[in-house]
Each structure stands twice: as structure tokens, then as C-alpha cells.
Amino acid sequence: MNRELGLPWAGKGELFCRVWAPETPRGAVAIVHGYGEHSGRYRDFSAWLSERGWLVAACDLPGHGNSPGRRGHIRSFFDYLAAVDALLAEVRRAVPALVFLLGHSLGGLIAARYLEQGPQAVAG
């Protein structure tokens, strides 16, 4: 992992994020974890992708990992969608062209729901 950062989102504080970045990224992968998980679970996979030229960013969803909020609780599913929006905005600042969204378990549901709003947000 290259760095950790606090990512402002929806005026609700900062999400804890991890970024793995090669010197010259060929594209980017934004990872959305599952329920009860955190971005650190993807450390090895993210390092592997980064070694192959991909910038990888993953944040702890609200109420998960090192992000604020009551554990496993959100007021609205839109809180998750706002978190993905903030994550993708951060990724696009580094790699504007080729961005992929990867979701696992609950993260897959969040990613699918996010893409229903506008699939043009990512390449795949």
C-alpha cells in the first residue's frame, strides 16, 4: 500500500481509504467491500494489481473498518452510494480515463445499484 487517506464524503466526515499506486497507472480499480469487512482485506490482491500497473483504491464503508459510524449501520442505502461516488471521484483525479468498479458481496450490490444510476461512471 502506498498511502492511507481520509476521504470527505457527503458532508458526513471522512471515510478511511487505502490506495496502491504504480508510478504510471494504466488504469484504476475502485474496490467496494462486503458487509462487516474493510478495505484491508484486499491488501494482497490490490498489491498484485498495482505491481501490474493498476492504481487500486478502496475505502472502508460507513460503519465499517476505520470509517466513522455505528458498526454495520447506515441511515439510508444512499449513504453507501455517496461513499462510492466519493471513492470514484478520488480515483478519477488520479486516472481519469480507464476506471473499473469491483464490488464483493454487499459491495457487489452497492456497485450494481450505483451503476443503475449512471453506468457511464466506469469502464466496467
- Check which CATH number belongs to the domain holding 17 and give it: 3.40.50.1820
- pTM to 2 decimals? 0.95
For each of the chain's 124 residues, which pLDDT tens digit applies?
Answer: 699 999 998 888 999 999 999 999 999 999 999 999 999 999 999 999 999 999 999 999 999 999 999 998 999 999 999 999 999 999 999 998 899 999 999 999 999 999 998 777 788 8
List the 99-103 sheet strands across, edge first.
Answer: 3-8, 14-20, 54-59, 27-32, 99-103
Q: Residue written as cell 476506471?
A: 99
Q: How many domains does the chain have?
A: 1
Domain that holds residue 106: 3-121
- Give the type of residue at 53: G
